[in-house]
Amino acid sequence: DKPQRIRFRILDRRHALLAGDPEQDITLDARSFARIDPKIERAFITENEINFLAFPAVADSLIIFGGGYGFETLAEAAWLSRCRIHYWGDIDTHGFAILDQLRAHFGHVESFLMDRATLLACEAQWGEEDRQTLRDLPRLTPTECAFYDDLRDNRLRRNLRLEQERVGFAWVKAALTALP
């Protein structure tokens, strides 16, 4: 089997792993990723490559390109357990299912821009989810669970979906500024 790869970007130049490289777009096998310790305090995980590449600089942080379901490779990186982890997925039933799965490995993960305010602010960008997931997601917070139920039960609109790359950059920057 080919080794699992993890792609990430350092978002704070002070924690650069490669001297003189301001972009810090790095891909490592899972074992090597587990062995690094970038001394960051916060990790963001996003499923969209455009968001991964355009994510702004954030002090003491990195961003991981998640690519969908399956986080076993990240679970090997014990250093992530000491970081605040923020997951940014699509606002749809699968986005919340991926968040639930990630919390099986890192129970302290916080959702990022996966809330009702973001959805309503981006109404002009709404789309439709092809096929919803309908199972219960036990690791969601009560607020997330209520929002997920509204999505899967089609209370807002049938198969409602807001793809994360449709959230405006100004909204993203404002949300980053509001983080504790």
- pLDDT at residue 140 above 90? yes
Radius of gyration of the chain (CA): 16
User: What are the φ and ψ backbone dihedral angles of 91, each rounded to 5 degrees?
Assistant: -90, 90
Q: Which residue has the higher pLDDT, 24 or 33?
A: 33
Locus of tokens 């990195």: 62
Q: Which residue has the higher pLDDT, 24 or 140?
A: 140
Residue 63 and residue 45: Cα distance in Å, rounded? 6
The percent of residues above 70 in pLDDT, for the chain, comes to: 99
Which pLDDT value is given to residue 24?
81
Could you read off the pLDDT of 34-75 as tens digits, one per residue?
A: 999 899 999 999 999 999 999 999 999 999 998 777 788 898
Could you read off the pLDDT of 107-131 as tens digits, one per residue?
A: 999 999 999 999 999 999 999 999 9
The pairing of strands 42-46 and 61-65 is parallel
Which pLDDT value is given to residue 180?
87
Exposure on the CB side of residue 57, measured as CA atoms within 13 A: 9
Locus of tokens 């990022």: 112
